[in-house]
Chain A
Amino acid sequence: MSEAVSDEQLLRRLQLGSDAAFAELVNRHGRYLYGVANAILGDPFDAEDAVQEALLAALSAEYRGEASVRTWLVGITVRQAGMLRRKRLRWRRAAPQPPPAADPIGAVDARIDLAEMLSRLPIDHRQVIVLRELEHMSYEQIAQVLQIPRGTVESRLHRARQQLRTLFGHDQPDRPAGA
């Protein structure tokens, strides 16, 4: 299937049951969706499961054209990743997160991938960081995708950024002496 076919057309064909359209959508966006899911879940197998669930969910989900097809798929993937993590936690009683390092890790090493970078954040913070920083979604859009209040988006984003800046040694606003 050629690139001349838009993502929107592809999605329509996909929702009419075309296997070829499904495969082409994976060809175009599968790598990116996997990267996003892996950044949130930090596990290649879970990432694959989340992307698969997201793509299958896209078969029957309504695309309203408010964002690009890719961004729409990212939203579904991020939501599926959150659901998958909660399911895994219920099943496995996953081991607790390692405590954050006492000292900043230092400047971000180019070799650190996004999954490692976000690995010390709670999953709901990873979700808002990915949607805001990679997809540049508005707070309102993030709230819709994650089905949480806008105020919760703001507070999660604030805490996630604070934590990342502490971990990776980005400058903080100077605090007054004795404050």
Chain B
Amino acid sequence: MMPCDHTQLVAAFYDGELAPDQAREMAIHIESCPVCLQELRSLQRLSQSIAAAPLGQPSGITLARLASARRRQERGIRRLAGALTAAAVVLLAVSVWNNQRAADLSSPLVGLDVVVVAAADEEPPPQTLAVARWMASDLALASAGGRP
């Protein structure tokens, strides 16, 4: 069979991607062109084979895991949020203690072994210092945990 310049358009015709006028011309052409007709039939057979090929099936366990994916994600987010909150509290406590110690080196640290991660190089504003002292004394009492 002689090659045909239109063969490269057969796939677009088959996929419905040609403009209406072009598609009409192509339909007429294919009726009289064995090369393009063969290409069209080949594409049709391939589509039939793909459509007939079964898809892999998930197990019941897989489906159950998928169905619970959102709940598991939510739980994970809550756990992370809890961990972040705890980390923020620890950092805040360390910062408050650090400020208190910088302001009043004679004030004893009570009850907790804290690794100070940031040095207080600057004197904090008086209001912040007051709040920090209050929180530090509160935390110190809390850390004492009712010990005599």
Interfacial residues, chain A to chain B (CB-CB below 8 A): 19, 22-23, 26-27, 30-32, 34-36, 38-39, 44, 47-48, 51-52, 55-56, 59, 108, 110, 112-117, 129, 132-134, 138-139, 154, 157-158, 161, 164-165, 168, 170-176, 179
Contact = CB atoms under 8 A, between A and B. Distances in A.
A26 B65 CA distance: 10
Contact of B1 (A36, A114, A116, A174): A174
B47 A133 contact: yes
B56 A38 contact: yes
A51 B41 contact: no
Given A52-B66, A170-B49, A114 B43 contact: no
B56 A47 contact: yes
A173 B70 contact: no
B15 A132 contact: yes
Contacts of A179: 3
Contacts of A115: 55-56
29 contacts: A26-B66, A26-B69, A31-B63, A34-B55, A34-B56, A34-B63, A36-B55, A39-B55, A44-B62, A48-B66, A52-B69, A55-B66, A108-B52, A110-B52, A112-B53, A114-B50, A115-B56, A129-B50, A133-B50, A138-B16, A157-B15, A161-B46, A168-B46, A171-B45, A172-B38, A172-B42, A173-B7, A173-B38, A174-B38
A114 B55 contact: yes
Nearest to A129: B50
Given A30-B58, A134-B50, A174-B1, A55 B41 contact: no
A173 B46 CA distance: 14
Chain B interface size range: 35 or more
Contacts of A56: 69-70, 73
Given A30-B58, A171-B41, A176 B3 contact: yes
A108 B39 CA distance: 18
Main secondary structure of the interface of B (DSSP, over half): helix
B35 interface: yes
B57 interface: yes
Nearest to A25: B67
Nearest to B17: A139
A174 B34 CA distance: 9
A137 to B, nearest CB: 10
B69 to A, nearest CB: 5
A170 B41 CA distance: 9
A39 B2 CA distance: 37
A161 B40 CA distance: 12
Given A30-B67, A113-B54, A157 B35 contact: no
Top 10 closest pairs, chain A to chain B, by CB = A35-B55, A38-B56, A34-B58, A114-B53, A23-B67, A108-B49, A26-B67, A174-B1, A22-B70, A133-B50
